[in-house]
Structure 1
Amino acid sequence: MGKLGMSGLKKQIVVLLSLLMLLAGIYYIWVYQGIRYSYEDTDSPMDSLAMIPLTWEEPQIRMFAPDNHYLEGIKLMLLNPSEEKSGDIVVKLLDRDNTVLAQSNRELSEMELGEWEYFPLQSRLSLSDEYIISVEPSDNLNESLFVVTQSDDIAMGFRYAKEGSVYEKTIITILLMFFAGVAIWQAFSGFPILPSVKKIIGAFLILIQLVIYLPNVISKLGWINLDDSWRYFLNISGHEGYIFGKDVFFTYGPLGYLCYMMNLPDNGPWFIVGVAIWIVIIAIYIFLLWRGFALYLKGRISIISITSSTLCAVASFIVLERDNFLLYLLLLATTVYLIERRENEEHIYIYVICNALLTLMFFVKFSTFTSGFAFLILFVAYEWIVCKDRKPIWLLIPSLVAMPICYLIYNPSVTNLKDYVVGILKISSGWMETQQYDFTVMGKDLVALISIMVCYVILLVLALMTQHEKSGVIFACSASMFFVYKYATTRHGLACGIWLFGMIYSIIPLTIDFKALKENKGKIAAIAIPIIALCITITGAFQANTVHNSFGNIKETLKDKAYNWTHLGENGIEDTIYGDYMSVSETLLAEIGSGTVAVYPYKVSLKAAYPDLNVIHYPSVQNANEFIPWIDSKTAEWFADSEKASEYLLIKDETIDGHIKYLDAPLTWQSIVNNYSLVDYEGDWTLLRRKPVAAKEPIRTMISTETHPTKATINVPDKANYVVIHTNYSLVGKLKKLFYHVYILHMIIEYDDGTSVDGRVMTPDLESGFELCEYPQNTGELVGFLGDGSQKRIKNITLHGLGTKDLKDKIEIEWYTEQ
């Protein structure tokens, strides 16, 4: 009796703690308003601002009533500082009792004149109280400063956290209910569920996943900009006869248009083939969901597994791009295969599906293919080594034969096949190195990323300890998780990473056999279920908070998806592309006439707005995505080839990411200068025409080599007119490049006339070398450089920025003279 009583007491404690945790979560989410996201600034027009004097004798006090519970900080602008700019500015947040709630200091030497400076003051405020902002100099400042604030009682630039959406808070509440339910289920012998009810629940959850993940296969060209332009090219490449691996090199392949299908006037057959392929893909998706549902009805996938999988999908739901859907299907197919095989059930269709998906990804998007390929390699290795099962190798081997055969049917050239594979590997690696920002995941996003990664590791360890024979998929997902991590931390941020991660993560719960864990009498198994449920709950909550979706967004996304599926025949070009903001003048169009024309650097979809233009494309497709010597040299060769290159070249005065214009692809730019001359210009467009006789390739002779500190100002020798800079990553830089990302490298160019240019440079391209001449930064300078032959010469160069921290302390310089 004593033993039974203790068991009953434990159950009561579990129920009580679970309910208390649920109630605490509900209070925090809905009453305390604890769920928040990022921040938003309070806008203030400049004419409402006033200067206040700031001296060491008297702090400036401003009272305010908060607009939001969560204050992130304030912004101030510094005017008329002393020349030395020594000392600190101290900003304090106080309540009405003068209790300091938060404080932030900033050295004057770090503050830019006339720029808004941010002072973090993170605090939770009461909407019914008033608070005080105190701005004062430190004791070592004895001169008067002027700081800009609003003219009323509120210090300028309040930054508040955004409140979580109702959708976001609802999902997190449901996740907490899920965890509480699993904990109670673990304490008791389970909840009896009628077979008919179980069937309805499973069907409903499967239907939710079907609706959420069903891809929106149609895109429309709405703007002549960077991403829309290369997506447009993918749709016209087949019709216009461009061969990937021969004519163009990109991170997408000849079927890449499947990711962004556009119904264009001239690509009808290709569009129809694309729709047919997607019908087959979606049929496979429905079939795999049906197989999963059948396994659920047989008890091989538990109701906890399918519920947690659906919750993860709903929590991370965002507009779904099509390229990663194929990777999701590959993981889903492998999961179905693993569960069926562990139950001595095997079907050949899974082998066919996995090999077909991997082969298709090879011709669609190479980064998705590499992720899927790495996943299958790890899965096969795990099954072979740990489970002594060699049969899974056939999930992979046929595709390795099919891929080269299919390419050779598409383009019967072994050399081009090699270039297709090697080129895309180089471009993908170059993208990771050159398309990064210094910081993409910070603050709350960094906490979310670390928490999600820790939860995944815990899940993996528990799975290996309790169900190692069923853990191949979870183990293999580490490869795809790593690619997602790199994608998020390199450029696009955690929200975009979650867009990929959520699909992959929703697969993992399906591989966990909760029923077997419950029946396992071991101590580890006893604690594994609540820990696994907690990890899934934490991950889902961070996903929902990071994506920050809303019911309105969900409605619009589903509505847009339904509309596109029922209007496949609509024109894929929106009227917005005809706006005046990007129009090319009639004078320039008349000059081009029927001649061939290329567009530089990246608005290659110009033909959609001007169908009469005879636009042709160079090997990099658009010069704003990959900046590595390999593709730079191929594009340079194209512009130098009179039989391939266009007769005209339209240049738009723009760049991305603050690059020093035309120095991000130095070989291509020098080839353009050598082979084209100025015809005319109007607005932001400059028209060049191919020279009757191209300039001769200069003969370069090395005159000296030098070694300098990485951040030193390097003076150019008098006789030098070409330079090659060898930068080498330090050990820390190499590790960051592999496991995180390297920082951005900047360069200051000073010309001999005293003018200068400061911007971002591509570290790999410095090895190619560049001319020590002017690099035009606007249309006026470009016209002057091409028309009059600018005599500017680079006097010195200086590398700077956080990117220098990833390099060795010394760089090697090679100086050349040209004849």
Structure 2
Amino acid sequence: MLVASAIIAALVIAFLFLMPLKPTMPQIGLDPSWCAALNEAVAKHMVFGRDLVFTFGPLSSVYNQTYHPGTDDIMLVFSGLVAAGFCTACALLASPHRHLILLALPVLVAEATFRDPPFDRDAPFLALPIILLLLCLRTSLPKGHALRLAPSRLVICGIAIASSAMATLPLIKGSFSGPVSLAFVLCSAIIASRSRLMALAFALLVVSTTCIAWIAAGQSVTALPAFFVAQAPIIGGYSEAMSVTGPVGAWVAFIVAAAWMLWIFARAVARPIGLAGWFAFAGLACLLFVAFKAGFVRHDQHATIAAGTLLFAGFMIAAISNPRHALLCSLVSICAWGMIEFGDRPGKAREIYTRITTASHDVKNGLGVRFGARGKLDAEYMRSLAEIRTALPLPAVTGTTDVYPYELSTVFAHHLAWSGRPVFQSYSAYSPALAELNASHLRASNAPEHVFVHVGTIDNRVPLMDDGSSWPILLSLRYKIVGYDANFIHFVRRKETPAIRVSPRPTVTLAAELNKAIALPFNGIVWASIDLQPTLLGRIGLAVFKLPGVRMETTLDDGRVISNRYVPAMGHTGFILSPYVDSNDSMMALAAGDANSNAVRAIRILAPARFWGAHFNVQFTRLNLPIQPAVRRMLLTEPTTPPSSVLRPTEGLKPTCHIDLLNGQATTGRSGALAISNTVLNVQGWALINPSKPAPPTSTWIALTATDGSRRFYQAQAQNRPDVLSAYKIQSKENAGFSAKIDVLGMEGVQHLEIYAGAGDNAFKCGIDQALVIRTAEENQ
């Protein structure tokens, strides 16, 4: 009686550990943003597979356990179903001879699901279909077989609960469809071998539960097929786009442990039983393969998926094996789990205890909230939104809104009307089809009226490659920039919505080769489309695991060489290659017509030729994006009337002045006029007054004098130049450097550039007279 009570208590605790009793609140960040976006989509009855194309479905809150007032009930109901199905299936699998191992179930659940950050809870979800498959196998065995589980009403009821739970998994996360589909087919085949009527009942239960859950989440049943179809490009492109390397020892440990478990299972279960046993073997192999890909393609915190799955795989085999095999599999799974979780950080092994105490603490507090003052959740939710608003403020706007590339939490925190693109986080638009979905959304009549952009990406990818097809639309006549700060550039859709006119200029197709430089054929804004394809070995590698990362080495006009992660599928779509835009400032410069700052001279694709075709084509197209005058006014230094001291400089004292760069070109060692083929003149340099006792100036002015004698003055911005102060041994907190981005649009011909250094009420003319030949005509843009 005491043992039975302990087992029941263990099952109840495991059930509670799987429940979102203490849900996560909205936060800033990539993962919290997609959690919040999916909850918002469910609350607003957006159609998954059409309005949203993402790995997760309308029951995603069961997985991420993020609170939203509009989805909390759905999260609780279906979390309860999945938790009940999982615990019931585990209890039946261990009955009647291995029931003592159920005492370890709460520990396994805690170790596999309670982590920081609180994501990657895949292990129990992945394990459920295979546990159900083993149950169907056991109930189909002939009487007298050692592994047979008598199909009593209680057992059948338990299998029905587990089957219903399994049916919801693809609606939680689309990538669960593979293991669920295989388990569904194999379970149906095993059950049909004993009773076709029972197999039909099983199939109807699974299909009807999926449809009911889909409808309960606010979706139309007619949209269900489209949801599954939409998963194909997301799942198919994952290995190429999202791979991250990690410790080799971790995935080697997984492969060794998985191979050992499969060998034990084949010997102890599959071979003695026959065909049905090999069906179960196929299901277990599928589970381990999916866990391997899920854990080690993106080998960061995702490795915990593989580690947790090993624990449950060990549990399954131990539940149906003899004591010797059970002990061996348990030891192997635990050792491999420890190597994956803590192999590169052995000092963190104390987390084993911390996870259990955290789970217990969350259950205790969560029960108090759920059955007590539930209003605390709403209050905590509102506090979280307030914190997000403080950390990432947005202007008060009316109309629909979207955010690029992924920080959507701030949209919901500000209670703005969200009109998100289908692939609502840019890093996931990693195929031509997905990128086009997002671009089409910007062209449509329901395109967002406000778009907030923070230029950036993940994994150090090539800038502007994410959502590559969308940038020409945002920078065209469809949208205009009305403001920017360190966080976001604010794009507003034009009310008149003119036809999008991104006029292509000459297109050049070049034959290229891996690991060799490819020179850009022209200046200006250059769009590149790169047709790099995997070899047969590469395709196999992507299907089985992943490939070594491909990189793009970009050489800028100023000589800098930048290395980025390159995703070949995104390169097929095309992206703005030059200028090199990697920040809000450089995006603003591009919109202002400054195509030569950070201009790209050449690129090089670095990849092993055995996995990628050594020869490929690169298509370069020059784009003529419209210059935005409002951005030029925000970004560029405009002429202004200088103080009288600059107009009448003090004679006799010559400051020490130097121009370092003019539009990225060094002036040292040059003689004669300098050609400037741009609408922006970017001046960088430094100045010191009083050569006998050098000191930074209080202000710096730049003068441009045309051949007709007309002059324009521009006040430069002060820049910190500790190198200059150190070289002249100056103890000062003042800035010796200066910089200015000057609007020279329309200033054709020769201009003479001069520098004036101010000191209080006096100004001194530097001994600089740099001749410039400015060409800003359209053909040079």
The normalised TM-score by structure 1 is 0.64
Contact 1:715 1:797 (8 Å CA) reproduced? yes
1:664 paired residue number: 466
- Deviations along 1:248-280, one digit per CA (max 9) or x if unpaired, are 11111122223234443xx34x32233233334
Residues in 2 aligned to 1:217 and 1:309: alpha-carbon distance in whole angstroms: 19
Give per-residue Cα distances to partners, 1:133-183, cap 9 Å, x unaligned.
Answer: xxxxxxxxxxxxxxxxxxxxxxxxxxxxxxxxxxxxxxxxxxxxxxxxxxx
**Equivalence for 1:782:** 587
SS at 2:421's partner residue? coil
> CA shift at 1:815, angstroms?
4.2
Q: Deviations over 1:89-132 (max 9, x none)?
A: xxxxxxxxxxxxxxxxxxxxxxxxxxxxxxxxxxxxxxxxxxxx
Distance in 2 of aligned mates of 1:210 and 1:418: 31
Q: Is this contact kept in 2: 1:312–1:540, CA < 8 A?
A: no
Aligned partner (choices 764, 788, 796) of residue 602 of structure 2: 796
Instruction: Indicate yes or no: 2:451 matched with 1:652.
Output: no
Identify which of 398, 406, 409 aligns with 1:605.
409
Secondary structure at 2:578's aligned position in 1?
coil
The amino acid of 1:646's aligned partner reads P
The one-letter code of the counterpart of 1:503 is F
The one of 314, 318, 335 equivalent to 1:509 is 318
Q: Tell me what 2:271 maps to.
A: 465
State the 1:637 CA deviation.
0.8
1:543 aligns with 2:337: yes
Q: Deviations over 1:221-257 (max 9, x none)?
A: 3521100011011211122231112211111112222
Show the counterpart of 2:173.
Answer: 365
Q: Which residue, 106, 127, 138 being the options, matches 1:339? A: 138
Q: Which moved more, 1:644-653 or 1:335-344?
A: 335-344
Letter in 1 for 2:177: F
SS at the partner of 1:567?
helix
Alignment of 1:521-600 (within 5 A): 530-531=324-325, 533-547=327-341, 548=349, 549-568=351-370, 569=374, 570-571=377-378, 573=381, 575=383, 578=386, 583-584=391-392, 589-590=395-396, 593-600=397-404
Say which is worse superposed, 494-503 or 779-788, in terms of deviation. 494-503
CA distance in 2, matches of 1:360, 1:669: 37
Which of 40, 53, 77 lines up with 1:249 in the alignment?
Answer: 53
Moved more, 653-662 or 543-552: 543-552
SS in 1 for 2:480: strand
Q: Name the CA shift for 1:815/1:426 in 2 (closer, same or farther; >3 Å).
A: same
Query: Partner of 1:429 in structure 2?
Result: 236
C-alpha displacement of 1:368: 1.7
Structure 2 residue aligned with 1:258: 62
- Structure 1 residue 277 and structure 2 residue 67: aligned? no
Q: The residue matched to 2:42 in structure 1 has which SS?
A: coil
Q: How many residues align?
A: 589
Distance 1:304 1:564, change over 3 A: closer
Choose the corresponding residue for 2:482, options 679, 693, 698.
679
The match for 1:621 is 424
Report the Cα offset of residue 541 of structure 1: 2.3
Alignment match, 1:744: 549
1:603 aligned partner, one-letter code: E
**What code does the residue aligned with 1:681 have?**
Y
Matches of 1:653 and 1:619, distance apart in 2: 19
Among 687, 690, 693, the alignment partner of 2:493 is: 690
Structure 1 unaligned residues grouped into runs of 5+ = 1-195, 515-528
CA contact (8 A) 1:257 1:364 kept: yes
The offset of 1:756, in angstroms, is 5.2
Which residue identity is paired with 2:331?
T
Q: Which residue of 1 aligns with 2:635?
A: none
Local SS of the residue matching 2:293? helix
| Higher RCO by CA contacts (8 Å cutoff, separation 6 or greater) | 1
Note closer, same or farther for the CA distance 1:540–1:704 as it changes in structure 2 (3 Å cut): same
Alpha-carbon offset, residue 291 of structure 1: 4.4
Identify which range, 697-706 or 601-610, moves more after superposition: 697-706
Q: Which amino acid counterpart does residue 277 of structure 1 have in structure 2? A: F
**SS of 1:589's equivalent?**
coil
1:302 aligns with 2:103: no
| Cα distance in 1 for residues equivalent to 2:287 and 2:21 | 23
The CA RMSD measured in Å over matched residues stands at 3.6
Q: 1:803 to 1:374 in 2, by over 3 A?
A: farther
CA contact (8 A) 1:258 1:322 kept: no
How much does 1:581 deviate? 9.9
Q: AA paired with 1:340?
A: T
- Given that residues 20 and 65 in structure 2 are in contact (C-alpha distance below 8 angstroms), is that contact kept between their aligned partners in structure 1? no
The 5 Å alignment of 1:440-479 reads: 440-443=246-249, 445-463=250-268, 464-468=270-274, 472-479=279-286
Are residues 360 and 307 of structure 1, via their aligned partners in 2, closer, same or farther at CA, if it must alter by over 3 Å?
Answer: closer
Q: Is the 8 A contact 1:375 1:477 kept in 2?
A: no
Post-superposition offset of 1:562: 2.8
Distance 1:388 1:288, change over 3 A: closer
In 1, Cα distance between equivalents of 2:62 and 2:594? 46
| Residue of structure 2 in register with 1:495 after alignment | 304
Cα displacement (A) at 1:281 = 3.7
1:398 and 1:290, CA in 2 relative to 1: closer, same or farther beyond 3 A?
Answer: closer
State the Cα distance separating 1:453 from its structure 2 match: 1.8
1:364-443 to structure 2, matched below 5 A, reads 364-380=172-188, 392=199, 395-396=202-203, 399-400=206-207, 403=210, 416-437=223-244, 439-443=245-249
Gaps of 5+ in 2: 142-147, 342-348, 625-781
Code of the aligned partner of 1:345: P
Distance 2:484 2:364 in 1: 45
Counterpart residue number, 2:779: none
Map 1:714-793; keep pairs closer than 5 Å: 714-718=518-522, 721-752=526-557, 754=559, 757-791=562-596, 793=599
* 1:814 CA displacement: 3.3
* Cα 1:418/1:279, change in 2 over 3 Å: closer
For residues 748-807 of structure 1, what are the alpha-carbon distances to aligned partners after superposition, in whole Å with 9 as ceiling and x for unaligned? 23345655543122211111123453242122212211234534554322112x566521
Aligned-partner residue type, residue 434 of structure 1: A
1:740 Cα offset (Å): 1.2
The question of whether the paired residues in 2 share the 8 Å contact of 1:702 and 1:817 is answered with yes
- Alpha-carbon distance, 1:604 to partner: 0.6
Separation in 2 of the partners of 1:396 and 1:440?
Answer: 41
Structure (1 or 2) with the larger CA radius of gyration: 2
Q: Is 2:537–2:611's contact at 8 Å kept on the other side of the alignment?
A: yes
- The alpha carbon displacement at 1:646 in A equals 1.4
Can you list the C-alpha shifts for 1:314-344, whole angstroms capped at 9, x where unaligned?
A: 8767448666544444433443343333345
- Cα distance, 1:542 vs structure 2: 2.4
CA apart distance, 1:728: 1.4
One-letter amino acid matched to 1:665: D
| Structure 1 contact 663–775 (Cα < 8 Å) conserved | no
Q: 2:28 is matched with which residue: 198, 219, 224?
A: 224
Which SS does the other structure have where 1:248 is aligned? coil
**1:503 Cα deviation after fit:** 3.0
Verify the 8 A CA contact 1:618 1:635 in the aligned structure 2.
yes
Question: Relative to 1, partners in 2 of residues 1:507 and 1:580: Cα closer, same or farther, differing over 3 Å?
Answer: closer
Residue in 1 that maps onto 2:636: none
Structure-2 separation of matches of 1:490 and 1:546: 14
Letter aligned with residue 304 of structure 2:
A
* Correspondence 1:133-172 to 2 at 5 A: none
Distance, in Å, in 1 between the alignment partners of 2:442 and 2:582 is: 21
Deviation at 1:456, TM superposition (A): 1.5
